[in-house]
Amino acid sequence: MGARQAVIVTAAIVLLLVAGYTAYTIAIPRAAGHSEEVLEREASFSLTTIDGEVISLNNVGGDVVILWFMAAWCPSCVYMADLLDRLTEKYREISVIAIDFWTAEALKALGLNKPGYPPPDTPEMFRKFIANYGDPSWIMVMDDGSLVEKFNVRSIDYIVIMDKSSNVLYAGTTPSLGELESVIKSVQGG
């Protein structure tokens, strides 16, 4: 490949990344910090994993459960995966449930099933993302639209933190490491 072709390919990739980032930041208004509406909701529910296993939050181990709403094509999700990985290494008794909500059903629920947006993720894309950037111990869920509605998710990298009694302690978009550690320490007494 010549230098000109390499520049064209690089420019195309950059444009796709910028278009994807713009799609989710403009089309889905970002939530600010804590969402009181989410904090007041009952958090007990069951999930179906990517492997078809139905789990309840009561059966998920750990003092802290982190729900992470993400998409396999999302560049900022690589950073958030790294941050969550560092948290699970530093603090014991944390379970991460990675929820890919860039599915056909969830996009329809959000009104984002339109031309020009990134196509829906597939289970294979999700598995590859977690294999490359996440942790194989994380529980993986492809959302059918019910979780984005239940937690009022309007942005990629939306985090919900719950204690083992299913009390929602935090809900917000792209939290910092310090914010996450503060919530975890409040539960684990550290």
CATH code for position 179: 3.40.30.10
Domain encompassing residue 106: 44-189
Q: Is 81 a domain residue?
A: yes
Decide: 43 and 167 in contact? Cβ < 8 Å: yes
**Tokens encoding 64:** 């802290």
Torsion of CA 79, 170, 94, 92, to 10 degrees: 90
Decide: 153 and 59 in contact? Cβ < 8 Å: no
Q: Is there a single domain that holds both residue 21 and residue 101?
A: no
DSSP reduced 3-state for 33: coil
Q: Is there a single domain that holds both residue 138 and residue 171?
A: yes
Q: Is there a single domain that holds both residue 134 and residue 68?
A: yes
Q: Which of 42-51, 89-98, 141-150 has the lowest mean pLDDT?
A: 42-51
| pTM given for the model | 0.78
- d(C-alpha 19, C-alpha 116), whole Å: 9
Q: Is there a single domain that holds both residue 98 and residue 151?
A: yes
**Tokens encoding 146:** 């019910």
pLDDT tens per residue, range 33-80: 444 444 444 556 788 999 999 988 778 888 899 999 999 999 999 999
- d(C-alpha 52, C-alpha 49), whole Å: 5
Question: What is the reported pLDDT for 26?
Answer: 32
**Does 30 score more than 50 pLDDT?**
no
- d(C-alpha 24, C-alpha 69), whole Å: 13
Q: Is 159 a domain residue?
A: yes
CB count within 10 Å of CB 149 equals 13
Give how far the C-alpha of residue 98 lies from the chain's centroid of Cα atoms, to the nearest Å: 5
Question: What is the reported pLDDT for 5?
Answer: 64
| 72 compared with 163, residue with greater pLDDT | 72
Q: Is 66 a domain residue?
A: yes
Q: Which of 43-52, 69-78, 83-92, 156-165 has the lowest mean pLDDT?
A: 43-52
Closest Cα to residue 91, out of 53, 70, 63, 111? 63
Closest Cα to residue 60, out of 82, 75, 45? 45
Decide: 74 and 126 in contact? Cβ < 8 Å: no
Q: Is there a single domain that holds both residue 164 and residue 72?
A: yes
Q: Is 39 a domain residue?
A: no
Q: Is there a single domain that holds both residue 106 and residue 14?
A: no
